[in-house]
Structure 1
Amino acid sequence: MENKYSVSNHFGVYGTVTDNGKILCIHKNAGPYKNRYDLPGGSQENWEGLTETLSREFVEETGYTIKKYSNPRVYDTFVREKGNLNVVHHIMVFYDVELDNNIEKQDLPSCFLDGFNDSDGIARVPFENFNEANSSPLLIN
């Protein structure tokens, strides 16, 4: 049977910060999770280790510096992009993250050397507020 969808792979590293039943999220402004809550994180750059990616992406997307990370785990999901026949096999590494409160939060850059910033800022959202319409699969799976 022929498959009508094209499949691509995406590998990302993400951090979870939880406090009092809320999780630190970003507001996505691009990609398959556009206009949804998502976890801070993203793709590795050349010669970057997993925790280096985690630390860099966290500063870029939240403005916060990581103090400590723990509990690495791996998940995957298939995401169909709306309006086309593309399916993304999203492979994700997660870490629990503790923020460094001794370092002041940085302003979010609007762009980087390789493109744009896909975060429009952060929110601390109660777990029960996540659903398929407002959140990426990273938050509801």
Structure 2
Amino acid sequence: MYKSYLFHCSPPKLRIYVLLYPEIPYHTMNSLPNFDKIFPKGSHLERKHAILNVTTSQEVRTMGNWHRSFGVYGVAEDNGKLLMIQCENDPYKQKWDLPGGKLNDDETLMDCLKRNVAEIGGKPDITANLGVYDFLVGYPFLDKRILQHITALFYMSVDFSAEKAVPLIFQSEPTKTRAYQWVPMDLLTDKNATPAALKAAEILQK
């Protein structure tokens, strides 16, 4: 009776906490800061399917606590290594990520990927669609607490040999390209790589 009363009368976030971690005693869940301990900034939400497969998951979807972002990313492999860049901003700051980024307004998926690969000085040859995936990440942003990062992955090869045009005297200097690196897939973990990068490694290693 006590458990039932607490479950139905507690705040939505706390009820989700209970659903995710039923093994934790109910009497320890008397404050929302516990929720922050489970979903710290930059962490991947564990047991995601436990949320999405329960009836009350609709509460998670409608409580207005998600920030949604859609991005396009390229997967390039060379002898067991992935073409990677290092994230400069939260929620993945300092982690390895695939070349790519957020889809802009009035931009196709392919144009988005080409634009982002050009930022590292390359020209992509896109050969396959590896699918669309979503990842939940604890990330306080404005009034939101969770980032739903939707990613479209495309297999590609990249040509870095193209010569860069020399700007005319009245043109501004070209934008400095971002650094990239080939990183062994077996060195990627959830501590040093983004969920999209880990998914790409998982697909290629099957």
Q: Would you say same fold, with TM above 0.5?
A: yes
Q: 1: distance between equivalents of 2:175 and 2:160?
A: 20
What does residue 55 of structure 1 align with? 114
Shift of 1:22: 0.3
Instruction: Give TM-score scaled by structure 2 length.
Output: 0.56
For residues 34-80 of structure 1, the C-alpha deviation after alignment (integer angstroms, 9 at most, x for no partner) is 001001111111111110111101112x2211133322411111011
User: Are 1:69 and 1:95, in contact at CA under 8 Å, matched by a contact in 2?
Assistant: yes
User: 69-78 vs 10-19, which deviates more?
Assistant: 69-78
Q: 2: distance between equivalents of 1:72 and 1:131?
A: 20
Shift of 1:81: 2.4
User: 1:109 aligned to 2:109?
Assistant: no
Shift of 1:105: 7.2
Q: 2: distance between equivalents of 1:100 and 1:120?
A: 15
Task: Give the number of equivalent residue pairs.
Answer: 131
Q: Classify 1:105/1:31 alpha carbon distance in 2 versus 1 (closer, same or farther; 3 Å).
A: farther
Structure 1 counterpart of 2:135, from 72, 77, 92? 77
What does residue 18 of structure 1 align with? 77
Q: 1: distance between equivalents of 2:115 and 2:164?
A: 14
Any unmatched runs of 5+ in structure 2? 1-10, 14-31, 33-63, 166-173, 200-206
What does residue 153 of structure 2 align with? 94
What does residue 68 of structure 1 align with? 126
Q: 2: distance between equivalents of 1:54 and 1:105?
A: 19
User: 85-94 vs 6-15, which deviates more?
Assistant: 85-94
Q: Counterparts of 1:12-51 in structure 2 under 5 Å?
A: 12-51=71-110
Shift of 1:102: 4.5
Instruction: Give TM-score scaled by structure 1 length.
Output: 0.80
Higher relative contact order (CA 8 A, sep 6+): 1
Structure 1 segments (4+ residues) deviating >6 Å: none
Shift of 1:120: 5.2
Q: 2: distance between equivalents of 1:59 and 1:81?
A: 28
User: 130-139 vs 13-22, which deviates more?
Assistant: 130-139
Q: Which has the larger radius of gyration?
A: 2
In structure 1, give the amino acid aligned to 2:133: Y
Structure 2 counterpart of 1:124, from 182, 195, 200? 182
Q: 2: distance between equivalents of 1:46 and 1:72?
A: 23
Q: 1: distance between equivalents of 2:121 and 2:106?
A: 23
Q: Classify 1:63/1:120 alpha carbon distance in 2 versus 1 (closer, same or farther; 3 Å).
A: closer
Hey, which of these two has a bigger chunk of strand by percent? 1
Q: Percent identity?
A: 30
User: Are 1:72 and 1:96, in contact at CA under 8 Å, matched by a contact in 2?
Assistant: yes
